A and B are shown apart, each in its own frame.
Chain A
Amino acid sequence: MNLELTATQQALRKEFRSFVDTELLPYANAYDKEGYIPLELIQQLGEQGYLGATLPVEYGGRGMDQLSYGLLNEEIGRACSSTRSLITVHTSLTAETILRWGTKGQKEHWLPLLARGLKLAAFGLSEPDAGSDTAGIKTSYTEQNGSYELNGVKKWITFAQIADLYVIVARGEQGITAFLVERNTPGLTIKPMEGILGTRASMIAEIHLKHCVVPAENILGRKGWGLPQIVNTALDNGRYSVACGSLGIARACLEDSIQYARTRQQYGQLLKDHQLTKQKITNMVTEVKAATLLCRNAGFLRDKKDPDSIIQTSLAKYHASRIANTVAADAVQLHGALGCHDSLSIQRYFRDARVMEIIEGSTEIQQILIADHSIAGLDTIL
């Protein structure tokens, strides 16, 4: 396995870094405080092709490989996890899933719009009473004259406040099924949510569906295969994005910590020269390196379309989201009071990191998946 970046991947990373440093990082704390990301930024992301990064060029995407897409998520995540969340739900969960399982008509209609960010997409799975246990969803569909009526409530849906297209997962006589539902469908209303701990600009909302009727051609995937086919594909895609985004958080914390340790003096010497600081930096850098390798490994296997990529993506997400938390906690500690204040980004990274262990399958759900695979045989893991 060669995890070295190709010249193209290195050039893309340079492009992402430059975009992030000029267009995103300087404003990310303000977005967090205000609770939204501006439409101008979304437009820019669309123009750069970052909302359709992995979509084929024929659909208006940039046709990037998975490893490059991981780098994009890492760089965006380094600056703003709310913006990275948009990419996760729009590109990974929805557009890539439509690309994989959509009908010809669904692909031809939606992918060019999503690739350029002319329309935004969100993924509606969770509900007030169903989170990890996805089979427990209550949102229902009933078939009537070849159409489907949806009823129920989706909760915590990232960017639902401004999305134009929702994947809605619902239960009914033929089993759990996914539907494409447009924002302007009669009976669909959006209730913005406030007060979230992290990714505060990710514009989460509830989606209320009341006698919401969609035609049969809006079924995404096979009827009754909503969980094993659509949700599993979407979450696998989303996990890769969140893994790399979490790595971005951790790297930002590490870089800021080193910078601070180089300039802050206590007891007559710079923090970087205190031995306990060296220990902290060493622990942080080791964790970041390990997460980098797991993310690159997942990207490499995803590009090869290797079946082990699925569990390796889970492993990368599990590790990267956990170390984002430990590294962010160390960064707060190293910055002292400043680490607790919103004049710096550290407190935001600390809060955003918490969310990473909950979304796209919580830490405990990853533990179940990884342990089961390991117990069956270590070949797929090691």
Chain B
Amino acid sequence: MDTTTQAGARTIIREFLRKRVGQDIQFNDAEDIFAAGLVNSLFALELVVFLEQSFDITVENEDLNLQNFSTVENLEAFILKKKDK
């Protein structure tokens, strides 16, 4: 993934999260959205489907680690790692 698509990834992730947590709730790229209680019980599954559809990756059992999914920054790093493989 080149730098342009990297920047694009972050925007796409933010956009997805905004829709899920609400436009009026503030959170930064380093904030743990799970720990902050910003999402409901369906969110983890929605997130997996979103990542697979938007970035053409397959989320495997071993990828399921809260660390990978907890912040915008970590999500971006996770996508880059999957794309590099």
Contacts and interface: CB of A to CB of B under 8 A. Distances in A.
B40 A307 contact: no
Nearest to B34: A228
Contacts of A172: none
Interface string A210-222: 0000000000011
B40 A369 contact: yes
Chain B interface extent, by class:
20 to 34
A305 B52 contact: yes
A236 interface: yes
Interface in B12-71: 16, 18-23, 40-42, 44-47, 49-50, 52-53, 61-62, 64
Nearest to A227: B41
B50 A307 contact: yes
A306 interface: yes
A307 B64 contact: no
Contacts of B49: 305-307, 309-310
A232 B44 CA distance: 9
Contacts of B22: 375-377
Contacts of B44: 228-229, 232
A377 B42 CA distance: 15
Contacts of A373: 20, 40
Contacts of B20: 373, 376-377, 380
Contact of B53 (A222, A305, A376): A305
B45 A101 contact: no
B15 to A, nearest CB: 10
Interface of A: 101, 103, 221-222, 225, 227-229, 232-233, 236, 304-307, 309-311, 314, 368-369, 372-373, 375-377, 379-380
10 contacts: A222-B64, A228-B45, A229-B64, A232-B44, A236-B45, A305-B49, A369-B40, A375-B22, A376-B20, A379-B19
